[in-house]
Chains A and B, each alone.
Chain A
């Protein structure tokens, strides 16, 4: 299938082409979902917000520059996340989960095996990173330390520890992607 521009996809979508909507999902679903998950820290709420984001953003396209569709979708997603959080706060019956709690479905045994396999591969890949980056990631993952604690233990500024973490993760991701290509 040819890679259409956002403008073309929007034009096709507005004329009722369901395939164009599918392509928009493929293009933006994942980044929007990660974004919402980062803000809401809950899988189900992020899904709800994602649905509302697409409905609202694509239902009100008048005046939206097709070249800025990505920014428009993220703006709507941001407002959806804030709205959802305000609703939860006012209800005050279901508190937001702890920041580290990314609620996901309980994995079945096959998923557990796959997960363990992925963890082994990840550990092997971490061994290929520069020592300074390895150390930050190791302390973070395997010792569960907070970034401030890592910075203290390595006797370096917090930003240095964070920068090493970030660079290490980026490199790790590239290694992971090249291995799974």
Chain B
């Protein structure tokens, strides 16, 4: 059972004043802090004491820098799909993760199928001849470490664009090589039918 006198509102107010003023001995501090852990009236008394101490300093009531709010919002509020994709905090079960993964997979499948069909329209042996016989200065020797670093530094939303550009470059490169060798550019409209 608590001592009514020691926990009266007036007593809490005066104890809060002493606490804020740093005029309690360690035992009193411990006792008051124990009270702060369980008694809302003691907490309110402390709030009042701090406000009044600040007022006496001739200052307005101290307020926190509101920048902290943005961090709280970031951690607590659900984000839009766009902001979620490009933000740092994600978890695997988020629906947007699966939607994004599905989209990438579908795009890759379409790209591969399209490329497969278009390349199957070309005579296979010819292509097999062209690629291995590229001159040394034309052949690209990618450094895998540099490539990995390069891709890791590109934000994810740019990677798909880069992939598509790379695919386009790769297709046009084989045609450039053929032209450089003086071969006739295949006319896509009159290309010879598949054997």
Contacts and interface: CB of A to CB of B under 8 A. Distances in A.
Interface in A66-112: 70-71, 74-75, 78-79, 82, 98-100, 102, 104
Main DSSP-derived SS at the B contact region: helix
A171 to B, nearest CB: 11
A82 B58 CA distance: 29
23 contacts: A29-B64, A31-B44, A35-B46, A35-B50, A38-B46, A38-B49, A38-B50, A47-B65, A47-B68, A54-B72, A74-B40, A75-B37, A98-B22, A102-B53, A104-B59, A122-B56, A159-B14, A162-B13, A162-B18, A165-B14, A166-B14, A173-B52, A173-B55
Contacts, number: 134
Interface of A: 16, 18, 21-22, 25, 29-31, 33-35, 37-39, 43, 46-48, 50-51, 54-55, 58-59, 70-71, 74-75, 78-79, 82, 98-100, 102, 104, 115-116, 118-119, 122, 137, 140-141, 146-148, 159, 162-163, 165-166, 169-170, 172-173, 176
B69 interface: yes
Interface of B: 10-11, 13-14, 16-23, 33, 36-37, 40, 43-44, 46-66, 68-69, 71-73, 75-78
Contact of B37 (A21, A46, A78): A78
A104 B50 CA distance: 14
Given A35-B50, A43-B62, A18 B73 contact: yes
Contacts of B54: 102
A42 to B, nearest CB: 11
A115 B58 contact: yes
A173 B71 contact: no
